[in-house]
Amino acid sequence: MAVTPLPLDEFDHRLLDLLQRNADATLAALGEAVGLSASAVQRRIKRYRGSGLLRQVAVLDANALATTTLATVWVTMERDTQRAHSAFRARVRAAPEVQQCYALAGDWNYLVILAATSVAHYREVAERLFVDEGNVRRYETRLVFDTVKQGLALPTRPPTAKRRR
Q: Is the pLDDT of residue 2 over 70?
A: no
Is the four-CA dihedral 41, 20, 55, 25 of positive or negative sign?
negative
pLDDT value of residue 165: 56
Q: Is 23:41 a contact under the CB 8 Å cutoff? A: no
The mean per-residue pLDDT over the stretch 39-62 comes to 91
Longest dimension (CA), the chain: 60
Give residue-wise pLDDT tens across range 54-80: 998 888 887 788 889 999 999 999 988
Instruction: Give the pLDDT score at 16.
Output: 96
Beta partners for 98? Answer: 114
**What's the confidence (pLDDT) of residue 83?**
92
What is the per-residue pLDDT for 79? 85
Percent of the chain exceeding pLDDT 70 equals 95
Q: Compute CA distances 43 → 14, 39, 148, whole Å.
A: 15, 6, 37
Amino acid identity for residue 24 in this structure: D
Domains of the chain, CATH where assigned: 10-51 (1.10.10.10), 62-143 (3.30.70.920)
The model's pLDDT over 65-123, given as tens digits with 9 standing for 90+, comes to 888 999 999 999 998 889 999 999 999 999 999 999 999 999 999 999 999 999 999 99
Q: pLDDT value at position 134?
A: 77
| Of 96, 30, 91, 26, residue with least CA distance to 60 | 96
Q: How many Å apart are CA 125 and CA 120, to the nearest integer?
A: 9
CB of 24 closer than 8 Å to CB of 58:
no
pLDDT above 70 for 161: no
